[in-house]
Amino acid sequence: MIIPVTCAIIIQDQKVLAVRRSKSMPLAGFWEFPGGKIEEGESPASCIIREIKEELGIEIKLGEILPASDHAYSQEKVIRLIPFSAIIHSGEIKLYEHDQLSWLGANELFEVTWAPADIPIVSYLKEHWISIVNGIK
């Protein structure tokens, strides 16, 4: 069974937000876009808005939905990572689950060690950087 997970590519000042999974989380030490698993009956958009509130304490405004990345961490754990571009609507970021954050520009995207499922999304982001980053206001 595929586990659907949403994540937010939060854009500010021509940079995107990456956060590092902390020791208490599976895949500790890997960098990711904040987000989490879709709950039963929840839409992807409601999920990402809820997760960002829980993890970062901010309200976001969603932009576009980007191509999903399917990744098998094991036979039992196959995730479908569904990214949304987004901007901050209100609030100040606090890390409630992650232990580090970094704002990455177009040429810094691969300076962190991404969770494997994120790699195709980061590559897509780099390739479509200008339209994604400028496509949201």
Provide, rounded to whole angstroms, the least separation between the CB of residue 13 and ligand 8DG. Answer: 21
Using CB under 6 A, pick the residue from 63, 118, 125, 132 that binds ligand 8DG: 118
What is the DSSP secondary-structure string of 6-74?
Answer: EEEEEEETTEEEEEE--TTSTTTT-EE-SEEEPPTT--HHHHHHHHHHHHH--EEEEEEE---EEEESS
Which string of x and - marks every residue 75-114 that binds ligand 8DG (by CB under 6 A)? Answer: ----x-x---------------------------------
Indicate whether 37 belongs to the interface with ligand 8DG (CB under 6 A): yes
Residue 96 has φ and ψ, to the nearest 5°, of -90, -20
**What is the contact surface with ligand 8DG in residues (CB under 6 A)?**
5, 7, 26-27, 32-33, 35-37, 79, 81, 115, 117-118
